[in-house]
Amino acid sequence: MSLIFFIRYDSTHKMAVKAWVILYMQLFNQKTTTMKKTITAIIVVAAMYACGNQNGTAPADNAAAGEEKKEASTNPSYDPERGEGKFKTVEVPATLDAALAEKGNKVYGVKCSSCHKLTEEKLVGPGWKGVTTRFTAPWIMNFITNTDEMLTKDPKAQAQLEICLVRMPNQNLSDDDARSLYEFMRKNDGVK
Ligand code: HEC
């Protein structure tokens, strides 16, 4: 009896995203001496963990950030911290703008909640818990307003696409929607 583990390692988020456990049992039928019959039972248990990073660390302080820079170096004009789109820098106050976050909550309910949970758990897309620690404000706002282009250029977005197998559709958000959604994500990540 042998036990084989295949763990797919997500280099972007430094975690195992899928674990395949294959239990391989070979039972030899010893009844006849002339012929050994092999009965093979394969039980495959596929444990698919939540899509996304469970123990989010800031992109700057993990080794994966370095790897991403390497990947992106094929296109030197691409900045993986900022993404691609109209947002270059975003003014983010230290404390929460509660009214803005509430506005974001409403947009979330209408346009995002069908695919994103507020926990770490994957629905169609990754859960939002910790998303503001995984990505910068410009990255998130560029991703949600310029989704298609980001999915063709950004290594982290592509890594999620590989896991989720669904391309996030463009949500036709205004700049204000994008900013309010970012504030709502900050609230969800515990900013007060
Ligand atoms: C039809 C399903 C769907 C809807 C609706 C949707 N998303 Fe997504 N989203 C995805 C998928 C799938 C991904 C993973 C990346 C990819 O493949 O596009 C994703 C990724 C993301 C990411 C990157 C998160 C990460 O951890 O990698 C952010 C941020 C995001 N979505 C924000 C939004 C916002 C904001 C809205 C609403 C305005 C929204 N999404 C609506 C499916 C959706």
- One domain, residues 84 and 170: yes
Q: Does 104 sit in the ligand 1 pocket, CB within 6 Å?
A: no
In a domain? residue 53: no
- One domain, residues 21 and 112: no
Tell me, in angstroms, the distance from the centre of ligand 1 to residue 156's CA.
12
The answer to whether the beta carbons of residues 183 and 107 sit under 8 Å apart is no
Least confident of 38-47, 125-134, 162-171: 38-47
- One domain, residues 112 and 176: yes
pLDDT digits (tens, 9 = 90+) for 7-41: 444 444 444 333 333 333 333 344 444 444 433 33
Ligand 1: nearest atom to the Cα of 147: 18
- One domain, residues 27 and 118: no
In a domain? residue 69: yes
Q: Please state, in angstroms and rounded to a whole number, the distance separating the CA atoms of residues 126 and 38.
A: 43
- Tally of structural domains, the chain: 2
Run of H or E residues at 188: helix 175-188
- One domain, residues 43 and 75: no
- One domain, residues 64 and 40: no
pTM metric for this prediction: 0.70
pLDDT digits (tens, 9 = 90+) for 52-84: 444 444 444 445 544 554 455 467 789 999 999
Tell me, in angstroms, the distance from the centre of ligand 1 to residue 57's CA.
19
- One domain, residues 25 and 94: no
- One domain, residues 86 and 172: yes
97-128 CB burial, b ≥16 within 10 A, e <16 = beebbebbbebbeebbeeebbbebbbbebbbb
- One domain, residues 42 and 66: no
How many other CB atoms are found less than 10 A from the CB of residue 148?
11
Q: Does 83 sit in the ligand 1 pocket, CB within 6 Å?
A: no
Reading the block at residue 161, the tokens are: 């696409």
What is the pLDDT at residue 71?
53
pLDDT higher than 90, residue 6: no
Domain of 79, in residue numbers: 59-188
Tell me, in angstroms, the distance from the centre of ligand 1 to residue 184's CA.
15
- One domain, residues 175 and 82: yes
For the chain, the distance separating the N- and C-terminal CA atoms, rounded to the nearest angstrom, is 54
